[in-house]
Structure formats: C-alpha cells, structure tokens
C-alpha cells in the first residue's frame, strides 16, 4: 500500500468513526449521514445515493437520511473542460459553452451548434475514475474487516460493497451510458408524453456524452402538468419493467422532470439494469397476483426466484405472504405504501431463510425511487390499476 493510500484509509476511518460517535450521541441519524458522506468524496456520495433506496439492506430511517445526501458540487470551469472536448465538437459550437449542472461524477454544459441544435455536453470529472477505483479497493478491505469482526451484525458487507462498487463503476462508463440512453429512447419512443434526449454519437467519446438539450424547468412544475408528467413517468417505468426488461433504476427528482406541457423528461441512464426474460415475467406475475389479492400465488413467485438457505421455511413464508397481501394492497398510492410493503417483503424472506434474487430487488427499487415523487404530485393515482395494462401485455410476451 502506498503512503497516499494509507493516509486516505486513515481519513475514511476517522470520518466514519466520527460519524458513528455522533450517531451514538445524537438522535438525528438523517443529519449525521447527510453531512458525513459529502466529506468523503464521490465514491461515498454515489454509494449513499445508491443505498438510499436499499430498504432490503438498511433500516428505513437510515435510507431516509441517505436520501438527503446531495451532490451539489462546484462545476468544473469551462476553460478546464475544453481540452477534454473533441476537436470536431469545438469546431461545431456557435457561441459560448455554459455550465448547466454539476454532479459528483460529471458536469453538464449547454451549447449551441452551428447547425442550430442546442446540446447538453456531459463531461466526466477529470481524475474521478482513479479516485473511485482507489477508494473501492480501500473500502473493500475495510468491508472484509467489518465482516470478519461482525461490526455490522450479520450483514454481508463484502457482497454489498462489491455490488455498490459495480454500480458506481457502471456510472463511470460513458460508452455504456450512451448505449443505455439510446435503448431507453427507442423503448419509450411510442410514448408521446415521455422524452429521453437523443444522443449525438458523432461527438461522444469515452469521457463526453453529447445529446439533445432539453429545456428542463428550474423550479418544480406544479398542478396538472406535474400530475400528467408523473403519471407518464409511472407508465414509462411499467413499460420498462413489464415489457422491455430494461429499467432505469435511478429516477430521483434530479433525473426526472415535468415540462410545463405535461411531458416527462428522463435523463441520466448511468444506472440501468437489464432483467432476464424470466425475471421480467416473474415480476409481472407477482404484480398481477398481488392486484388479485392472491397471496399464495405471490409466495409461489418469490419462492421460485429466491435463494433458500439450509434453514428455509417456505410454509411460514407463504403464510406471512398471504397475510401481507390480505392486509390490503389495493387502492390509491395514498393507501398502498410501497416502502413498508417492500420492507416487509424483504424482511419476511430473510426471517424465513431466503435471500431475494437481485433481479427481483432492482425492479422494486426503481418503483421506490419514483414513489416519493408520486406521493407529492398525485397521491390519488392508483398504482396497481395503472400497472395492469402493462402487466397483462407483459404476461403474454
């Protein structure tokens, strides 16, 4: 290990130890988590965001704290990104390149091209891949220690870190993101209320994505337009889950916008998942059976996909699933709460000796991310009724 890596490891341990101390002394988990993560840089910011929906792994209160972690970082000045932009793009720009947004991994700029197109230029932060690779090596070593000495109870820390690491590395891969953006745009192309920016491949590189700039509203769009856009986004997610099997898992408010005309804009395909056909089918079957109030059939779907441990108790699990579904899953978003439902669904699996198939976890997470927005803008929408046409078509394909 180099001296730099040792210093970085010590800093990570010191900041995390300080946070643990604060957690022990104060009651405000949310504040402590939200203020600690940004101090540790992009790896931890991204990990916090990814963990904020993981109700299958963490208590809901911790998830809420992680959801407050924002990555409002200073943008990289335009002068510093110019050398990273391809010559042909620079030659095509008419006027100034203007900073538009800054995240932990990338910054986005706006520019007009000589042919009249207005483009969004997403540029990977210089050096961020190296910082993240180094941090992931260190965090993996710390995770091994934590698991060995059971510092976080029985949590499979090494596996969780490996999974997070893979998701963070995926967000660094701009070539994959271009492929994902194009797939989403094609898959959602028949939905007139949903826009995904067009990618201009001739100007993209391994660090730069050039795409159609969409006029995102600065503040929150309200009223009917927001409601229409939110329902459009929900239908888009159902299309992804039940028909396309290619899912944007990160539709938080920074990546989902309502235009004043009621259309929904989806950006940032950095965290997408492809489902196998059998997982997509199983998920559609689960949803269908849930909407019919058939807990036993829901249990069958989960039991066919979850991994069983030696002490697995399928009958106990089945009985609880029947109670959960009977407990009332019908109704508007206001009545059916996805987060407590998902918490119970995952807890039930653990307590009866099963571990959820990741293919089943990610679809649920994509809906959890959207649920926050749904609750705010249109609590009257019927989650399950909206799903039904997509579910029925998904079951037939």
Ligand X SMILES: Nc1ncnc2c1ncn2[C@@H]1O[C@H](COP(=O)(O)OP(=O)(O)O)[C@@H](O)[C@H]1O
Q: Which of 42, 65, 75, 103 binds ligand X (CB under 6 A)?
A: 103
Instruction: State yes or no: residue 255 binds Mg ion (CB under 5 A).
Output: yes
Cβ density class 336-358: b for 16+ within 10 Å, e for less: bebbebbbbbbebbeebbbbbbe
Nearest-CA neighbor of 38 among 103, 127, 111, 94?
103
In sign, the C-alpha dihedral spanning 169, 172, 178, 182 is: positive
The gap between the terminal CA atoms of the chain, to the nearest Å, is 52
Minimum distance of Mg ion from residue 23's CB (angstroms): 28
Q: Which of 156, 254, 293, 334 binds ligand X (CB under 6 A)?
A: 254
- Strands annotated E in the chain: 98-102, 106-112, 118-124, 194-195, 208-212, 246-248, 256-258, 264-266, 272-274, 307-308, 354-355
- Strands annotated E in 50-165: 98-102, 106-112, 118-124
Nearer to Mg ion, 244 or 268 (CB): 268
Tell me the β-bridge partners of 122: 108, 209
Instruction: State yes or no: residue 164 binds ligand X (CB under 6 A).
Output: no
The listed partner (ligand X, Mg ion, none) that binds 156, CB under 5 to 8 Å by sort, is none
Q: How far is CA 326 from CA 149, 290, 321, 333, in A?
A: 41, 9, 8, 17
Which H or E element spans position 23?
A: helix 3-25
Interatomic CA distance for residues 144 and 163, integer angstroms = 14
The listed partner (Mg ion, ligand X, none) that binds 359, CB under 5 to 8 Å by sort, is none
The listed partner (Mg ion, ligand X, none) that binds 165, CB under 5 to 8 Å by sort, is none
Nearer to ligand X, 248 or 352 (CB): 248
Instruction: State yes or no: residue 89 binds ligand X (CB under 6 A).
Output: no
State the helix-helix crossing angle for 174-187 and 157-172, rounded to 10 degrees: 80
Nearer to ligand X, 106 or 164 (CB): 106
State the helix-helix crossing angle for 128-148 and 42-51, rounded to 10 degrees: 60
Residue 327 token pair: 């407990």
Instruction: State yes or no: residue 105 binds ligand X (CB under 6 A).
Output: yes
Q: How far is CA 83 from CA 243, 273, 377, in A?
A: 42, 32, 42
Instruction: State yes or no: residue 245 binds ligand X (CB under 6 A).
Output: no
Q: Which stretch binds ligand X (CB under 6 A): 29-37, 101-109, 359-367, 385-393?
A: 101-109
Q: Which of 268, 300, 359, 371 binds ligand X (CB under 6 A)?
A: 268
Q: Which of 56, 147, 244, 268 binds Mg ion (CB under 5 A)?
A: 268
Interatomic CA distance for residues 340 and 338, integer angstroms = 6
Q: Of all residues in this chain, which one has the CB nearest to Mg ion in the complex?
A: 268
Q: Which of 93, 162, 214, 322 binds ligand X (CB under 6 A)?
A: 214
Count of CB atoms situated within 10 Å of the CB of 133 = 14
Instruction: State yes or no: residue 170 binds Mg ion (CB under 5 A).
Output: no
Instruction: State yes or no: residue 178 binds ligand X (CB under 6 A).
Output: no
The listed partner (Mg ion, ligand X, none) that binds 214, CB under 5 to 8 Å by sort, is ligand X
Torsion of CA 136, 137, 138, 142, to 10 degrees: 90
Nearer to Mg ion, 177 or 300 (CB): 177
Instruction: State yes or no: residue 76 binds ligand X (CB under 6 A).
Output: no
Instruction: State yes or no: residue 208 binds ligand X (CB under 6 A).
Output: no
The listed partner (Mg ion, ligand X, none) that binds 322, CB under 5 to 8 Å by sort, is none
The owner of tokens 């407050």 is 68
The listed partner (ligand X, Mg ion, none) that binds 237, CB under 5 to 8 Å by sort, is none
The listed partner (ligand X, Mg ion, none) that binds 258, CB under 5 to 8 Å by sort, is none
Q: Which of 57, 101, 142, 191 binds ligand X (CB under 6 A)?
A: 101
Query: Rule CB under 6 A: which residues touch ligand X?
Result: 100-101, 103, 105-106, 108, 120, 122, 197, 211-214, 216, 254-255, 267-268, 270
Query: Rule CB under 5 A: which residues touch Mg ion?
Result: 254-255, 268
């Amino acid at each position: 290990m180099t001296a730099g890596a040792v210093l970085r490891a010590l800093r990570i341990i010191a900041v995390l130890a300080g946070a643990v101390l604060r957690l022990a002394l104060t009651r405000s988990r949310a504040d402590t988590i939200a203020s600690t993560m940004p101090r540790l840089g992009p790896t931890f910011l991204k990990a916090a965001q990814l963990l904020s929906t993981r109700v299958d792994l963490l208590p809901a209160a911790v998830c809420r704290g992680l959801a407050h972690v924002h990555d409002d970082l200073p943008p990289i000045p335009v002068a510093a990104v110019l050398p990273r932009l391809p010559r042909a793009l620079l030659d095509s720009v008419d006027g100034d390149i203007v900073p538009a947004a800054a995240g932990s991994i990338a910054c986005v700029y706006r520019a007009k091209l000589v042919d009249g197109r207005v483009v969004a230029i997403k540029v990977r932060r210089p050096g961020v891949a190296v910082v993240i690779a180094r941090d992931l090596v260190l965090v993996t070593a710390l995770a091994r220690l934590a698991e060995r000495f059971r510092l976080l109870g029985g949590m499979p820390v090494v596996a969780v870190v490996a999974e997070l690491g893979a998701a963070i590395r995926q967000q660094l891969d701009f070539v994959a993101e271009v492929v994902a953006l194009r797939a989403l745009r094609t898959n959602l192309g028949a939905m007139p209320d949903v826009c995904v920016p067009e990618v201009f491949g001739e100007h993209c590189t391994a660090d730069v994505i050039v795409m159609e700039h969409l006029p995102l509203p600065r503040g929150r769009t309200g009223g009917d337009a927001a409601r229409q856009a939110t329902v459009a986004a929900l239908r888009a997610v159902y299309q992804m889950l039940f028909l396309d099997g290619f899912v944007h898992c990160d539709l938080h408010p920074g990546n989902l916008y309502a235009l004043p005309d009621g259309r929904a804009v989806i950006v940032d395909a950095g965290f997408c998942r492809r489902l196998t056909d059998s997982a997509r089918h199983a998920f559609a079957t689960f949803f269908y059976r849930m909407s019919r109030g058939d807990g036993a059939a829901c249990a069958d779907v989960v039991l066919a996909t979850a991994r069983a441990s030696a002490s697995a108790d399928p009958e106990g699990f089945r009985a609880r699933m029947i109670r959960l579904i009977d407990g009332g899953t019908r109704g508007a978003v206001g009545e059916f709460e996805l987060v407590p439902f998902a918490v119970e669904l995952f807890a039930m699996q653990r307590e009866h000796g099963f571990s959820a198939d990741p293919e089943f976890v990610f679809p649920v997470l994509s809906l959890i991310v959207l649920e926050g927005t749904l609750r705010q803008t249109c609590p009257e929408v019927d989650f399950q009724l909206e799903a039904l046409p997509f579910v029925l078509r998904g079951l037939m394909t």
